[in-house]
Chain A
Amino acid sequence: AQKVTQAQTEISVVEKEDVTLDCVYETRDTTYYLFWYKQPPSGELVFLIRRNSFDEQNEISGRYSWNFQKSTSSFNFTITASQVVDSAVYFCALSETFSGGYNKLIFGAGTRLAVHP
């Protein structure tokens, strides 16, 4: 069955430290998408990235970078030089195709990141 595991429940760092959030997934599909969402204290889900299962290139966006490795079924997220505003819960999610041809997001349990000044 499809599953997303975020083993780190909470991470606490000091500002300017680098931090990596782990995500491991399980799927039988060959075509799927992986996502990262940020949920700040205000509660809304903020989309960060979507990655196609056929594209294993790492991606960098400012202080954020993502490492996708199909061989280990991992899609890890690194924040460089963390800031207090990065404090949030981060969710990794998997979208795959179910019978009927539709998709739904399967979420991990989330990692709560606290960045202290």
Chain B
Amino acid sequence: GAGVSQSPSNKVTEKGKDVELRCDPISGHTALYWYRQSLGQGLEFLIYFQGNSAPDKSGLPSDRFSAERTGGSVSTLTIQRTQQEDSAVYLCASRVFKGVAGGGYTFGSGTRLTVV
């Protein structure tokens, strides 16, 4: 597609339930990132995928968070047993390839997650 697509745009879930957030990157972009933006805060790195390499999961806040990227394209961020502090906007970004000169980062519109 023309841009990075994220779904759903909004998700309200009950505390303790699992949620899945989806990111469809720009075709041909091998690098994919997930960020989290809590209310009034900056963007916090969560996880990075590059081609078939092992992902960098160093930003995942707890083992309730996991992500996968199937076929080097679509990625799913899963949060298990959601807590109220998980409420945030989850942003996905993609870029052409790794390396400092690997093109600009294109962000999706995000998924606003509210845990009630």
Residues of A near any B CB (own CB < 8 A): 31-33, 35, 37, 43-45, 47, 50, 91, 93, 95-98, 100-110
Q: Which stretch, B11-19, B69-77, B102-110, touches the partner chain A?
A: B102-110
Decide if the interface of chain A is mainly helix, strand, loop or mixed. strand
B1 at the interface (CB under 8 A from A): no
Check B53–A104 contact: CB distance below 8 A.
no
Partner of A91, one of B42, B93, B106, B110: B42
Check B56–A98 contact: CB distance below 8 A.
yes
Contacts of B79 in A (CB 8 A): none
8 A-B Cβ contacts within 8 A?
A35-B105, A47-B104, A47-B106, A50-B104, A100-B98, A101-B98, A103-B99, A109-B42
Check A103–B107 contact: CB distance below 8 A.
no
Given A44-B107, A47-B105, A97-B99: A102 and B45 within 8 A (CB)? no
- How many angstroms from the CA of A33 to the CA of B107 in the assembled complex? 17
By the criterion of a CB under 8 Å from any partner CB, how many residues of chain B are at the interface?
A: 26
CB distance from A9 to the nearest CB of B (A): 9
Q: Which partner residue on chain A sits nearest B48 by CB separation?
A: A104
Check A104–B99 contact: CB distance below 8 A.
no
Check A104–B107 contact: CB distance below 8 A.
no
Contacts of B104 in A (CB 8 A): 47, 50
- How many angstroms from the CA of A107 to the CA of B106 in the assembled complex? 15
Given A105-B33, A107-B42: A96 and B100 within 8 A (CB)? yes
Partner of B100, one of A35, A37, A44, A97: A97
- How many angstroms from the CA of A105 to the CA of B104 in the assembled complex? 10
Check B45–A31 contact: CB distance below 8 A.
no
Q: Top 6 closest A-B pairs, CB basis?
A: A102-B98, A45-B107, A109-B42, A107-B43, A107-B42, A44-B109
Contacts of A103 in B (CB 8 A): 31, 98-100, 102
CB distance from A51 to the nearest CB of B (A): 12
Check A102–B50 contact: CB distance below 8 A.
yes
B91 at the interface (CB under 8 A from A): yes
Check A108–B42 contact: CB distance below 8 A.
yes
Check A104–B56 contact: CB distance below 8 A.
yes
Check A105–B99 contact: CB distance below 8 A.
no
